Structure 1
Amino acid sequence: MGASAIATASTHEPPAPSTTAATATGTSTASEAIPVSDDDTADVITVETDGSGDFSSVQEAVDAAPAGATVRIGPGVYRGPVVVAASDLTLVGATGDPRDVVITDDRASGLPKPGGGTWGTSGSASVVISGDDVHSRDLTFENSFLREEHPEVTSTQAVAVRTTGDRLVFDNVRFLGHQDTLYANSPNTETTSRQYYRNCYVEGDVDFVFGRGTAVFHGCEIRSLDRGSDSDNGYVTAPSTPPEQEFGFLFTESCFTSDAPPESVYLGRPWVPSSDLDARPQALIRDSWMGRHFKEQGWIEMSSGHDWRQFQLREFANKGPGALNTPDRPQMSAEEAAGHTAEAYLAGSDGWNPVREPARPVCTARGR
Structure 2
Amino acid sequence: MEAANHAAIPQEMENATRNSTEFSSNSLAIATHIMTILQSFQVPIHRKLLKFDRHHHGLEFDPRFPLWIRRGDRRLLQEENPIPNITVAKDGSGDFRTISEAVELIPKKKKTRFVIYVKEGVYLENVSIDKDYWNVMIYGDGMYKTIVSGSLNKVDGTPTFSSGTLIAAGRRFIARDMGFINTAGPEKEQAVAMRSSSDQSVFYRCYFDAYQDTLYVHSNRQFYRDCHVTGTVDFIFGNAAVVLQNCSIQPRQPGPDQFNTITAQSKTDPNQNTGISIQRCHITPFDNLTATTYLGRPWKDFATTMFMQSHIGDIVDPAGWTQWTQGVDPPNTIFYAEYENLGPGSGINERINWPGVKPNVTTEEARRFTVESLIQGNQWLPKDSMVYESSLE
Q: Same fold (TM over 0.5)?
A: yes
Partner of 2:314: 292
Q: Secondary structure at the match of 2:87?
A: strand
1:181 to 206, 211, 214: 214
The alpha-carbon deviation at position 194 of structure 1 amounts to 0.3
Supply the distance in 1 between the matched residues of 2:215 and 2:225 (Cα, whole angstroms).
Answer: 14
Note the aligned Cα RMSD (angstroms).
2.9
Supply the distance in 2 between the matched residues of 1:288 and 1:209 (Cα, whole angstroms).
Answer: 16
Supply the distance in 1 between the matched residues of 2:200 and 2:228 (Cα, whole angstroms).
Answer: 19
* C-alpha spacing 1:43/1:335, structure 2 compared with 1 (3 Å): closer
Q: How does 1:33-52 map to 2 (within 5 A)?
A: 34-36=74-76, 44-52=85-93
Partner of 2:277: 250
Partner of 2:204: 171
Residues 20-58 of structure 1 show CA distances to partners (whole Å, capped at 9, x for unaligned) of xx99xxxxxxxxx943489x9975210000222111110
> Identity of aligned pairs, percent?
29
Is the counterpart of residue 60 in structure 1 residue 60 in structure 2? no
* C-alpha spacing 1:168/1:212, structure 2 compared with 1 (3 Å): same
Residues 236-274 of structure 1 show CA distances to partners (whole Å, capped at 9, x for unaligned) of 0000023121230001011101145578211110102xx
* C-alpha spacing 1:104/1:228, structure 2 compared with 1 (3 Å): closer
Supply the distance in 1 between the matched residues of 2:161 and 2:137 (Cα, whole angstroms).
Answer: 23
Bigger CA radius of gyration: 2
Q: How does 1:140-159 map to 2 (within 5 A)?
A: 140-147=179-186, 156-159=189-192
The alpha-carbon deviation at position 87 of structure 1 amounts to 1.0
Is the counterpart of residue 79 in structure 1 residue 143 in structure 2? no
Supply the distance in 1 between the matched residues of 2:291 and 2:191 (Cα, whole angstroms).
Answer: 25
Q: How does 1:129-144 map to 2 (within 5 A)?
A: 129-144=168-183
Quick one: higher RCO (CA 8 Å, sep 6+), 1 or 2?
Answer: 1
Supply the distance in 2 between the matched residues of 1:194 and 1:41 (Cα, whole angstroms).
Answer: 24
Asked if the contact 1:262–1:294 (Cα under 8 Å) also holds between the matched residues in 2, the reply is: no
* C-alpha spacing 1:146/1:41, structure 2 compared with 1 (3 Å): closer
Q: Which consecutive residues of structure 1, in runs of 5 or more, have no partner in the other structure?
A: 1-21, 24-32, 112-117, 187-192, 273-278, 358-368
Partner of 2:263: 237
Q: How does 1:1-368 map to 2 (within 5 A)?
A: 34-36=74-76, 44-66=85-107, 67=110, 68-85=113-130, 86-93=133-140, 95=141, 97-111=142-156, 118-147=157-186, 156-186=189-219, 193-227=220-254, 233-243=259-269, 244-258=271-285, 259=287, 264-272=292-300, 279-303=301-325, 307=330, 309-326=332-349, 327-328=351-352, 330-351=359-380
Supply the distance in 2 between the matched residues of 1:43 and 1:54 (Cα, whole angstroms).
Answer: 11
TM-score for the superposition, normalised by structure 1: 0.74
**4+ runs deviating over 3 angstroms:** 33-38, 40-43, 259-263
Higher helix share: 2
The alpha-carbon deviation at position 290 of structure 1 amounts to 0.4
User: Size of the alignment, in residue pairs?
Assistant: 297
* C-alpha spacing 1:56/1:350, structure 2 compared with 1 (3 Å): same
The alpha-carbon deviation at position 228 of structure 1 amounts to 7.2
The alpha-carbon deviation at position 200 of structure 1 amounts to 0.3
Supply the distance in 1 between the matched residues of 2:338 and 2:202 (Cα, whole angstroms).
Answer: 24
Asked if the contact 2:252–2:289 (Cα under 8 Å) also holds between the matched residues in 1, the reply is: no
Asked if the contact 1:135–1:169 (Cα under 8 Å) also holds between the matched residues in 2, the reply is: yes
Asked if the contact 1:76–1:101 (Cα under 8 Å) also holds between the matched residues in 2, the reply is: yes
> Which letter does structure 2 place at the counterpart of 1:338?
R
Supply the distance in 2 between the matched residues of 1:135 and 1:159 (Cα, whole angstroms).
Answer: 18
Q: Secondary structure at the match of 1:283?
A: strand
Supply the distance in 2 between the matched residues of 1:261 and 1:90 (Cα, whole angstroms).
Answer: 35
* C-alpha spacing 1:172/1:89, structure 2 compared with 1 (3 Å): same
Supply the distance in 1 between the matched residues of 2:193 and 2:313 (Cα, whole angstroms).
Answer: 24
The alpha-carbon deviation at position 120 of structure 1 amounts to 1.4
